[in-house]
Chain A
Amino acid sequence: MTDRLDDAIELLKTPPAVSVEARVMAEIRQMAVPVTARPVRVTRILPWLGLALAAGVAAIFLISTRNAQGPLGESEGMAQFVGQFPGARSVEVVGSFNNWSRGLLHLRDDDHDGIWHAAAVLPAGQHEYMFVIDGERWVTDPLAGRFVDDGFGSGRENSVLIVRPAVQP
């Protein structure tokens, strides 16, 4: 019977007669070159600032739709991204809501105090995201309320945000 199992294993070794190479290469040619992740430098946050951030923004939270420009759809909500990255030249957010693509959602630090922020209308529901600092350093949002394994076996986690649908007036 073991011989029969060995024969079965040999049968199972036949790969499907398909290829995804052309499809994958066509898709990645539309994408930016991947960046090298460097060790994350954890920024120490002053207690009062941490409290303010946690209470006020906690990296991402739903703000009143009354502040939004234009009406939001029933399945949309406004999310605000905030992080403290002193010395950063650029900060952006990539996540499941923008197909992890860079260059689409940049944070701003107009007063150069090291606190970067941006707001975006997102579909209601759960999203995963990370910050990309200076175009090359991927950082998990330390102030996110929830985290999930990034699925790549690296021990890294994506931050999770939940966008609730806008409250209709």
Chain B
Amino acid sequence: MEIRDVAPLAGVTQQVNDSLTDVEVVARVLGGDGEAFGILIRRYEPGLLRFAARMLGNADAAADAVAESLVRAYRHLGQCRDPGHLRSWLYRITGNRCRSHLARKHMSDLPLSEVPAPALADEADSWTMLERSEQVALVARALAALPPEKREAFVLKHVEGLSYEEMAQVTGARIPTLKMRVHRAREALVAALGALV
């Protein structure tokens, strides 16, 4: 057997997994293929971690919250009434974990190191990098200063790109309420960014 056959086969498997819908993956898991849950983790982990990190202001706490949420999701997967809206369901579980975490512990100022700066087109431009880092820290602090429900609404809408219908499923709040929270959060962040001038 030629070893070179392994990589293409793995690639094909990945493509097949990527083409499966959430409903199909959930059916596989409930049918006894627990490993298939890894497909859902890889599909939604980045967004859930980003959401939790913005809510909690701490990467370690976010990782704990997301890990706990995914385990809970696996355990109760059979109770997900609509696997076609799995993303909203996972964000709801994660949001609940974040709220529990925030209720137990007051959030402290966000350490600069907790918010990684995105890669720059020109890494050699240290001045631009420094400016970006300062902006990241400022934005993160402004976000952390928002009340949790406004922070959650802003992040779900503008960072995670959820629709208002999905946000209502995640938060349990009404759409007009969510629109107002997003609006207020935008106002507060614009004011905070203006303070930098």
Contact = CB atoms under 8 A, between A and B. Distances in A.
Nearest to B65: A20
Which applies to chain A's interface (DSSP): helix, strand, loop or mixed? loop
A23 B64 CA distance: 10
B45 A12 contact: no
A152 B89 contact: yes
Interface stretch (A34-42, A55-63, A115-123): A34-42
A153 interface: yes
Interface residues of B, number: 59
Interface string A4-21: 110111111111111111
A104 interface: no
B81 interface: yes
A24 interface: yes
A20 B66 contact: yes
Contact of A153 (B53, B71, B75, B89): B89
B164 interface: no
A36 B30 contact: yes
B34 A29 contact: yes
27 contacts: A1-B193, A9-B158, A9-B159, A12-B139, A13-B118, A13-B159, A14-B116, A15-B47, A17-B116, A18-B63, A20-B41, A20-B67, A23-B67, A25-B41, A28-B37, A29-B34, A31-B74, A34-B29, A34-B76, A35-B30, A36-B78, A100-B76, A150-B76, A150-B79, A152-B79, A153-B88, A153-B92
Given A28-B37, A153-B172, 14 more contacts: A1-B190, A1-B194, A5-B190, A14-B50, A15-B46, A15-B49, A20-B63, A24-B71, A25-B37, A33-B32, A138-B79, A150-B79, A152-B79, A152-B80
